[in-house]
Amino acid sequence: MTTVPFGVRLAAAVDARGPLCAGIDPHPALLEAWGLGVDAAGVERFARTAAEALGQVCSVVKPQSAFFERFGSAGVATLERTVADLRAAGALVLLDVKRGDIGSTSQAYADAYLDPAAPLAVDAVTVSPFLGFGSLEPFVTTARRHGGGLFVLARTSNPEAPQVQAAVREGRSVAATVLDELRALNADAAPHGSFGAVVGATIDGADAAAGESLDIGGPLLAPGVGAQGGTLEDVRRIFGAAAPAVLPASSREILAAGPDVAALRAAAVAVGEPFRALRDGTAPR
């Protein structure tokens, strides 16, 4: 891993390939749809085929760790090889792990994913701030040291989220407070910071951060594009002026085109193109 900040590397990758973040989620239903077994061998065939297809056309690829971990050491070994395949193809790898803990345990997680000496070293990870944003300090420090990135859960689209994320303390929602913290971390970065937020592409736009700007000086990961219902218009509605910083994340809509490699690539290009035009200011309104 390079010590060039993740935000700098991400900006270059998005300029070259567009903003799409394609997921690799070896869900049982997708394995079966591809004619594969719901087992470690099926996951390996699925993941490495997806990596071959997506690693050359997407700026960011996001494997979902849980779908590998459920098969134990064989699944984790496949995840390691998939990460290596993606990075060799020029994609940045965002590992979707949603880790969050305190002290030495938080540091151990950070070392597992952001230390270039680790077997599962990636470019960025998803993390949870709901033990208090300060609990993420080991991740922040390790990311800065090694040029890695974080995507911090802020306002997710699952129906249970508002119970915590929309809760208000001292006049600020939890989601807005998370965005404030990220804005501070990215304050001196150029062209973009390395610390991003996760904001769902299917939420009520007025609820994202108590009506305030979503511009945090860093990337905004927007899961839910495609099969989960998120559209280009949703991204415009929710993110407003911050839309050019959005990485639309899509998994099932793209992966459903498999197992043919060419069809997977074509699906990724088709899903990503409107968002590339949005970022470049050329998308029709």
| End-to-end C-alpha distance for the chain, whole angstroms | 40
Q: Which pair of tokens denotes residue 82? A: 């998939």
Distance CA 156, CA 108 (A): 25
Distance CA 67, CA 64 (A): 6
- The residue with tokens 């700098």 is 8
Distance CA 57, CA 265 (A): 7
98: annotated active-site residue: yes
Is the N-terminal amide bond of 248 cis, ω within 30° of 0? no
Provide the CB-side half-sphere exposure for 217 (13 A, CA). 15
Of 27, 81, 98, 252, the active-site residue reads 98
* Active-site annotation, residues: 98
